[in-house]
């Protein structure tokens, strides 16, 4: 099997600050860097660095060639990445030196230029054995989901950043729904994983659910089983891309045919290692680094 990611690619402008800025507050940043990011790119890198066979589809602006090159240099097939005459998607990220938490403002740009024609081109190129991985940072998500359902392609969906139209999307093709506590509450009305699972099971009976809980680990509901995976204790520096790292490694485990509990453990190890490093894409570990944890 192989993985087809249809997702975003961003230039991240990262500012180190004493604490996340409050409304009306001006802060002096202690450092600034420009990195590769975007949920699609991060998850593609995590998959590739975990050893999976992955292709990435999406749109980049003129300034985005460096993002395409980064993916290619990490073994990702970028033949489905298209250049468009739209400003490159980007994000402004604050990272608190006190808590290691972040605050992110995303500008869609080229990521929102993904149209219906591109959807058909990309999915026509999909293999029958492909698993499609999606986030909610690109346009035409409802069309992509509906087409995946029509073609019988299994989907891993991370509905982040959450928008109100997600609840109205056709999620019947979603094999795995992966959310954090906030997204679980936005989608189902409750942040309690067990209550969220009951609602998801009623709406989309064939969909497995994973809810990540930050430093408290994660919980998974699949094939009638509830599996809890505790987090690995580390000294966090920057939580940016921790969730994307988790998803990439979790899907890589699925691709290898590992038991779900082992996929959760693998993903938790990788995301724990990622938060000990600054940045988004630069923080995502390679599979060979995990024993060091």
Active site residues: 244
- Six-digit token string for 48: 């590739």
Number of other residues whose CB lies within 10 A of the CB of residue 282: 19
**DSSP SS3 for 36:** strand
- Six-digit token string for 204: 């989309």
- Six-digit token string for 208: 């497995």
Element (H, E) at 179: strand 174-180
Angle at 233 between CA 230 and CA 239, to 5 degrees: 95
Residues in the chain: 293
Q: Select from 159, 251, 248 the least CA-distant residue to 204.
A: 159
Angstrom distance (rounded) from CA 44 to CA 64:
16
């Amino acid at each position: 099997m192989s993985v087809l990611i249809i997702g975003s690619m961003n230039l991240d402008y990262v500012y180190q600050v004493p604490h996340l800025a409050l409304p009306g507050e001006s802060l002096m940043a202690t450092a600034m860097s420009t990195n590769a990011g975007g949920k699609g790119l991060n998850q593609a890198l995590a998959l590739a660095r975990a050893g999976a066979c992955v292709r990435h589809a999406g749109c980049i602006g003129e300034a985005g060639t460096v993002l395409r090159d980064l993916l290619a240099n990490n073994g990702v097939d970028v033949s489905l990445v298209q250049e468009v005459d739209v400003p490159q998607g980007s994000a402004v990220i604050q990272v608190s030196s006190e808590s290691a938490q972040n605050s992110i403002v995303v500008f869609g740009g080229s990521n929102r230029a993904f149209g219906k024609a591109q959807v058909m081109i990309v999915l026509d190129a999909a293999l029958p054995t492909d698993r499609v991985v999606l986030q909610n940072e690109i346009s035409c998500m409802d069309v992509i989901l509906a087409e995946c359902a029509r073609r019988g392609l299994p989907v891993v969906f991370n509905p982040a950043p959450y928008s109100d139209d997600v609840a109205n999307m056709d999620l019947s093709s979603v094999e795995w729904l992966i959310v954090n506590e906030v997204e679980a509450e936005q989608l189902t009305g409750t942040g309690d994983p067990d209550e969220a699972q009951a609602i998801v099971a009623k709406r989309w009976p064939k969909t497995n659910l994973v809810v990540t809980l930050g430093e408290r680990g994660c919980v998974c509901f699949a094939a009638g089983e509830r599996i809890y995976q505790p987090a690995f204790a580390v000294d966090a520096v920057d939580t940016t891309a921790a969730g994307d790292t988790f998803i990439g490694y979790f899907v890589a485990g699925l691709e290898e045919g590992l038991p779900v509990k082992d996929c959760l453990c693998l993903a938790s190890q990788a995301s724990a290692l990622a938060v000990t490093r600054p940045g988004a894409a630069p923080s995502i570990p390679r599979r060979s680094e995990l024993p060091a944890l």
